[in-house]
Amino acid sequence: MTIAPLTDLPLWPPINLDRDPLVPLDAAERHRFSGPVTRVRLPTDATAWLVTRHADVRQLLRHPGFSADLSRPGFPLLRRVAPGTPSDRRGGFIRMDGSEHSRLRRMLTAEFMIKNVRRIEPLIQQTVDRALDGLRDAGPPADLVAHFALPVPSMVICHLLGVPYADHDFFQQRSRTLIDRDAPPDRVQLHVRELRDYLHRLVETKVAAGDRTDDLLSRLARDRVDTGELAVDELVGMAVLLLIAGHETTANMIGLSTLLLLRHPARYAALRDDPGHADGLVDELLRYLSIVRTGLPRLAVQDVEIGGQLIRAGEGAIGVLSLANRDPGVFDAADEFDPYRQAQQHLAFGFGVHQCIGQPLARAELRVALVELARRFPRLRPGTEAGRLPTRDTSVVFGLDALPVTW
């Protein structure tokens, strides 16, 4: 059996001066990785099965024969860890299975239901307006990532959780370390501990004070910790997960989506003139950009056949969302950006029981941010050549470090 050296060619290769940051793979690279389930070598030198077709990825992510628990022996880790590093899953329910996972996830489900997200849309709107004021005051020219794409989701998730936004530099730096595949293991370990310690102090303060503030951490402290349903350490783990996921992914989507739309001036203008079609556009942006580029790892806990390939218990598998979202068997002209496409079948938020719980919030933030940007800055344009933009090539979540714009 041939083993493709995944370490020689990341699934979303580093950008150079000749590569477009919006093109994940060239034709030769797509041919190498797309198609039937194949065996690959991971950056850790372990091997796993690479799953790239849309139907196969859906089956992988929904099948109970696969575990998301990275503490299991043989789990296909995508980066090396420091020797003796404990697997701390407390509250991090995306790395749990079965009843352990569902117990914690259920405590958050209502918070992120569409009706509740609609209730906080005025907050999202105010946050977007404030950030756009900051972008206007900073330029032209100005960095859209620093002044808009990153502050919007950061401010929203801080408000929802009850985390002081004044500390955003602290948790953003540590968040980026935790999703950087090339970060030294000892630094990852340190930043995990620092972030947990920070949130542990915050949670304990809320628990001790019987905080009546109407934020998510205060409500969970009152309704779950005080009743004994949830341990403080579990609440801290949930806070870590929500804080990281709540701003990193959406920030990168706003930046990349803006760059893409500026290449389609008519569609950018339509956001201002006909914002009612923004929801469909958001789905196509999520499909086309697919910023979770390294794939979702799973460990087989029983023998399962995926796409005609038997994956035995104890073997790892990686579901690659970015390639599944460009499966030509599901999406016509899959490599083309079509703002009028019906792209609801995309897998940008994953699939199955671990599908992103915060997707209604992410969709709302992306829609409001892009519509208001087009309305307030109708003559926005990139301030530099696309190929020269600094990109986050080693991050689990692909994005731009900066997007200079002018108007």
Task: Express as a percent the part of the chain with pLDDT over 70.
Answer: 89
pLDDT in tens, 271-311: 988 898 899 999 999 999 999 877 899 999 999 999 999 99
The amino acid occupying position 265 is P
Segment 386-398 shows an average pLDDT of 79
77: confidence class by pLDDT, cuts 50, 70, 90: confident
pLDDT at site 31: 73
> Contacts from 32-36 at CB under 8 Å and sequence distance 24+?
32/4, 33/4, 33/320, 33/323, 34/323, 34/326, 34/327, 36/307, 36/308, 36/309
**Mean pLDDT for the chain overall:** 88
**What are 176's two structure tokens?**
């980026």
pLDDT at site 248: 87
Q: Judge whether residue 5 has pLDDT over 70.
A: no
pLDDT in tens, 246-277: 888 999 999 999 999 999 899 899 898 889 88
pLDDT at site 211: 60
Length of the chain, in residues: 407
The span from the CA of 207 to the CA of 131, in Å, is: 32
Strand partners, 292: 397
pLDDT at site 350: 95
395: confidence class by pLDDT, cuts 50, 70, 90: confident
Which of the pair, 89 or 37, is modelled with greater confidence?
A: 37
Around Cβ 389, how many Cβ atoms within 10 Å? 21
pLDDT at site 25: 67
Segment 156-183 shows an average pLDDT of 90
pLDDT at site 387: 59
Out of 11-25, 163-177, 257-271, 302-316, pick the least confident.
Answer: 11-25
Q: Judge whether residue 26 has pLDDT over 70.
A: no
Segment 51-62 shows an average pLDDT of 97
What is the model's pTM? Answer: 0.91
Please enumerate in sequence order all residues whose Cβ is within 8 A of that of 197, keeping only pairs 6 or more positions apart, or say none: none
- Cα separations (Å) of 232 from 207, 226, 238, 344? 9, 10, 10, 37
Out of 24-38, 60-74, 172-186, pick the least confident.
Answer: 24-38
Closest CA to 393 of 33, 5, 18, 13: 13
Strand partners, 391: 400
Segment 177-192 shows an average pLDDT of 87
Is the distance from CB of 106 to CB of 94 less than 8 angstroms? no
Output the 3-class SS for the chain: CCCEEHHHCCCCCCCCCCCCCCCCCCHHHHHHHCCCCEEEECCCCCEEEEECCHHHHHHHHHCCCEECCCCCCCCCCCCCCCCCCCCCCCCCHHHCCHHHHHHHHHHHHHHHCHHHHHHCHHHHHHHHHHHHHHHHHHCCCEEHHHHHHCHHHHHHHHHHHCCCHHHHHHHHHHHHHHCECCCCHHHHHHHHHHHHHHHHHHHHHHHHHCCCCCCHHHHHHHHHHCCCCCCHHHHHHHHHHHHHHHHHHHHHHHHHHHHHHHCCHHHHHHHHHCHHHHHHHHHHHHHHHCCECCCEEEEECCCEEECCEEECCCCEEEECHHHHCCCCCCCCCCCCCCCCCCCCCCCCCCCHHHCCCCHHHHHHHHHHHHHHHHHHCCCCEECCCHHHCCECCCECECCECCCEEEC
Q: Is the dihedral of CA 363, 219, 160, 239 positive or negative?
A: negative
Q: Judge whether residue 215 has pLDDT over 50.
A: yes
Out of 133-142, 272-281, 288-297, 388-397, pick the least confident.
Answer: 388-397
33: confidence class by pLDDT, cuts 50, 70, 90: confident
Segment 385-395 shows an average pLDDT of 76
Is the distance from CB of 388 to CB of 281 less than 8 angstroms? no
pLDDT in tens, 312-362: 999 999 999 989 999 999 999 998 999 889 999 999 999 999 999 999 999
